């Protein structure tokens, strides 16, 4: 049996803001929950190449592992968790934006 493929998302940083972004079916999002989840290895590699062909808007695209909880992607590694949330010493970064949107 081949090893099961860990689901992935394509992630990068936005060129202008430097903010963490994730690839969607038709663009980019700043929210991991909205990212396109890739469950097929060949598909994931193809989507990464597509991302890397957009150097005018993004920097440093790569594939990050996720797990699905109720169909929503969550990071498997703590580094990706920080990228998806923001730093732990101030409520800055994505956690700040989410808070602003909520209230």
Partner 1 sequence: MYHYTDFDAAFLAERNAQFRAQVERRIDGSLTEDEFKPLRLMNGLYLQLHAYMLRVAIPYGTLNSRQMDQLAMIAEKWDKGYGHFTTRQNIQYNWPELRDVPDMLDALAAVNMHAIQTSGNTIRNVTADHFAGAAADEVADPRPVAELIRQWSTDHPEFQFLPRKFKVAVTGAQADRAVIKAHDIGLRIVERDGAIGYEVIVGGGLGRTPMIGKVLYDFVAEEDLLPTLEAIVSVYNLLGRRDNKYKARIKITVHENGIEDIRARVDARYALIRPQFGGVDQQMLARIKADFAAPRFRVADEAPYRNAYQNDPLFRSWADTNLSAHRAPGYAIVSISLKAHGKTPGDASARQMRLMAALAKRYGHDELRISHEQNVILPHVHKSDLPSVFAALRAEGLGTANIGLISDIIACPGMDYCALATARSIPIAQEIATRFDELKLEHEVGPLKIKISGCINACGHHHVGHIGILGLDRAGVENYQITLGGDGTEDATIGTRAGPGFSADEIIPAVERLVLAYLDLRTEPAETFLQTYRRLGMAPFKAALYPEAESKERADAA
Chain contacts with partner 1 (rule: CB under 8 A): 13, 15-20, 55-56, 59-60, 76-79, 82-83, 86-90, 92-94
Written in H, E and C, the secondary structure of the chain is CCCCCCCEEEEEEECCCCCEEEEECCEEECCHHHCCCECCHHHHHHHHHHHHCCCCCEEEEEEEEEEEECCEEEECCHHHHHHHHCCCCCCCCHHHHHHHHHC
* Residue among 27 and 87 whose Cβ is closer to partner 1: 87
* Residue among 15 and 98 whose Cβ is closer to partner 1: 15
**Smallest separation, CB 34 to partner 1 (Å):** 18
**Smallest separation, CB 80 to partner 1 (Å):** 10
* Residue among 1 and 89 whose Cβ is closer to partner 1: 89
76-89 in b/e burial notation, b at 16+ Cβ within 10 A?
eeeebeebbbbeee
**Smallest separation, CB 37 to partner 1 (Å):** 20
* Residue among 40 and 68 whose Cβ is closer to partner 1: 68
**Smallest separation, CB 42 to partner 1 (Å):** 26
């Amino acid at each position: 049996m081949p090893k099961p493929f860990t689901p992935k998302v394509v992630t990068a940083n936005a060129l202008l803001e430097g903010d963490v972004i994730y690839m969607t079916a038709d663009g980019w999002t700043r929210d991991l929950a909205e990212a396109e989840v890739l469950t097929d290895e060949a598909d994931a590699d193809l989507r990464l190449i597509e991302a890397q062909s957009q150097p005018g808007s993004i920097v440093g695209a790569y594939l990050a592992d996720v797990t699905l909880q109720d169909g929503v992607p969550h990071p498997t590694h703590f580094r990706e968790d920080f990228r998806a949330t923001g730093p732990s010493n101030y409520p800055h970064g994505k956690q700040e934006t989410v808070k602003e949107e909520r209230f």
